[in-house]
Structure 1
Amino acid sequence: MSLTLVLTLLLSVLIGISLGLLGGGGSILTVPILTYVAGMNPKEAIAASLFVVGATSAVSVVTHARKKRVKWRTGLIFGAAGMVGAFGGGLLGGRIPATVLMIAFALMMVATSLAMIRGRKDHTPEAQENDLPVFKVTIEGLVVGLVTGLVGAGGGFLVVPALALLGGLPMPVAVGTSLLVIAMKSFAGLGGYLTTISLDWALVGGVTVAAILGSFIGARLAGRIPEAALRKGFGYFVLAMGVFVLVQELPAPANLILGFSAAGIGVLAVLCGFLIPGCPLRRASGTSTAKHATAEHTATEAR
């Protein structure tokens, strides 16, 4: 077994941990690992990531479901609509230059990371108990499916914000539900790619097994981390990976300019969120912290 293969399999464990813990980030890790470590062609890496992430998500969603962290109706409707969009995106993605796909992939990551770092302005407790409206879920599913199928992502880095930020689901439930959606959309997107791409199934199978093992670790950690910290940590992680891919794919000096620009936005977000009074990020964080503190105080009084 070569050193490259061993390193690829070890890093693949992180794919599962990311999916089990965050409900996303699988393709954000899988595509760079298969491209820059395993040496796969970018289009093959994108197609392979759909299988790896889809299979890992399908296994991980079972663990989350046992802990009541999956909204089945919302997930199935979102996933069904996303499958339609993902298949179309997969068909189109197989005919677009690899570099264009990777740059689009990175830009989408940066935009999504900023939304996750900022968070929602309000939190509606009733959304935790009720499924989202069918029409809204269907439209969001089609759009997210098309985008994620096009850039070869399972969609967690878009599905989690869609469910948590737009839908109002609490982060642990958004994570669990997103895994159901990811599994459905990933296999649909893979079907589109396989019309033009062939894969090394032995390598893909090994990466998938390693990712599934990691997903058990991630699922056990999920729910033990405060919602605000989990959301912001996910956002900063996606931002870092987006900058990395931009630097790798863009020619000099554009890669350095855009890379430093994206990194600078992230630094400003951190400063705004934690140091500058009156900043929306600070208010969002403070509100979440205050709610958490109030809940703890109420629980203490009840005891």
Structure 2
Amino acid sequence: MTATLVITLLLSVLVGVSLGLLGGGGSILTVPILAYVAGLEAKEAIAASLFVVGVTSAVSVVSHARNGRVRWRTGLIFGAAGMAGAFVGGLLGGFIPGTVLMIAFALMMLATAAAMVRGRRGQAAAPATHELPVLKVVLEGLVVGLVTGIVGAGGGFLVVPALVLLGGLSMSVAVGTSLLVIAMKSFAGLAGYLTTVQLDWPLVLGVTAAAVAGSFVGARLAGVIPEQVLRKGFGVFVLVMAVLVLVQELSVPLWAVGALVGLVGVAAVVCWLAVRSCPLRRTRTAVAVA
């Protein structure tokens, strides 16, 4: 067993922990691991990640269901619509250049990170107790599924915000429900990719086994960590991964990234301290009231 394979498998455990704990983030980790550590081509890494995340999510959802953290009706409808979108996206993704796919992947991560860190402005954090309207669930599922299939993300970093920010579900229920949706969409997207891509199945199965092992750890932690911490931590995690992918794909010097991060940090502090209408301050106030 080579050092590269060992590192790949160890990092794959984090994929499972992320899925079990956050209901997403699996592909955000899996795609870079397979592309930059295991050395797979972008399209192969994307297709393989769909299998890894699909299997891991299917296993993880059992633990969440036992603890009542799965909204079955919402998940099945969202997942069915997402499967249709993911299959079409998988077909399209096979004909798009790998670099374009990875950049699109990172841009979607940035948008999601901003939504999760910001939260629902001016709304209480109390979870909704009703099922989402069917039409709304179907439309969201189709759009998220299409993106899932094209960029190879299992969809947790899109499904969880959709269920939390738009559907009003609590973070813990959104996490459990998203795993059901991810499993359904991932296999549909994989089917689309397999029409044009061949996989290294021994490697894929090894990574999957490691991820499944990590998912049990993540599922045990879910529900223990406060919801606000989970949501904001998820957003920061996605933001960091997005920056790393963009740096790799665009060959941006690390000093430039550091300078940009520093400027953003200074701007945030100035906004917080000197601007009464600062969005950061309003977001904090809304959360505190809730």
TM-score range, shorter chain: over 0.9
Query: Is the contact made by 1:113 and 1:236 (CA closer than 8 Å) also made in structure 2?
Result: yes
Tell me the distance in 2 between the aligned counterparts of 1:78 and 1:137: 5
Pick closer, same or farther for the CA change 1:269–1:129 going to 2, 3 Å: farther
CA distance in 2, matches of 1:274, 1:49: 39
Deviation at 1:281, TM superposition (A): 3.5
Counterpart for residue 21 of structure 2: 21
Question: Where do 4+ consecutive residues of structure 1 move more than 2 Å?
Answer: 259-291
CA contact (8 A) 1:27 1:154 kept: yes
1:123 aligns with 2:131: no
Percent of residue pairs identical: 70
Task: Confirm or deny: 8 A CA contact 1:236 1:266 kept in the other structure.
Answer: no
Q: Secondary structure at the match of 2:91?
A: helix
Displacement of 1:287: 3.9
CA distance in 1, matches of 2:153, 2:282: 32
Residues of 2 paired with 1:217 and 1:270: CA distance? Answer: 35
- Compared with structure 1, are the counterparts of its residues 230 and 275 closer, same or farther at alpha carbon in structure 2 (3 Å cutoff)? farther
State how far apart, in whole Å, the 2-side matches of 1:183 and 1:43 are. 19
Task: Tell me if the contact between 1:247 and 1:256 (Cα under 8 Å) persists in the aligned partners.
Answer: no
Q: Could you tell me how far apart the structure 2 residues matched to 1:271 and 1:36 are? A: 35
Q: Distance in 2 between matches of 1:119 and 1:273?
A: 18
1:141 alignment partner in structure 2: 141
| 1:96-144 Cα shifts (integer Å, max 9, x gaps) | 000000010011111110011100121374x532110000000000001
Contact 1:23 1:176 in 2 (8 A): yes
Structure 2 residue identity aligned to 1:50: L
Check whether the contact 2:124–2:286 (CA below 8 A) recurs between aligned residues: no
Give the Cα–Cα distance (whole angstroms) in 2 for the partners of residues 88 and 261 of structure 1.
40
Matched letter for residue 236 of structure 1: V
1:58–1:272 CA distance, 2 compared to 1 (3 A): farther
TM-score normalized by structure 1? 0.89
**Unmatched 5+ stretches in structure 2:** none
1:30 aligns with 2:40: no
Distance 2:146 2:271 in 1: 32
Residue matched to 2:287: 288
Q: What corresponds to 2:50 in structure 1?
A: 50
- Contact 1:269/1:281, CA 8 A, preserved across alignment: no
Counterpart secondary structure, 1:128? coil
Letter in 1 for 2:184: M
How many Å separate the matches in 2 of 1:275 and 1:213?
A: 45
2:217 corresponds in structure 1 to 217
Q: Distance in 1 between matches of 2:270 and 2:232?
A: 13
Counterparts in 2 of 1:88 and 1:264: CA distance versus 1, 3 Å: farther
In the other structure, the counterpart of 2:175 is 175
Instruction: Report the AA paired with residue 279 of structure 2.
Output: P
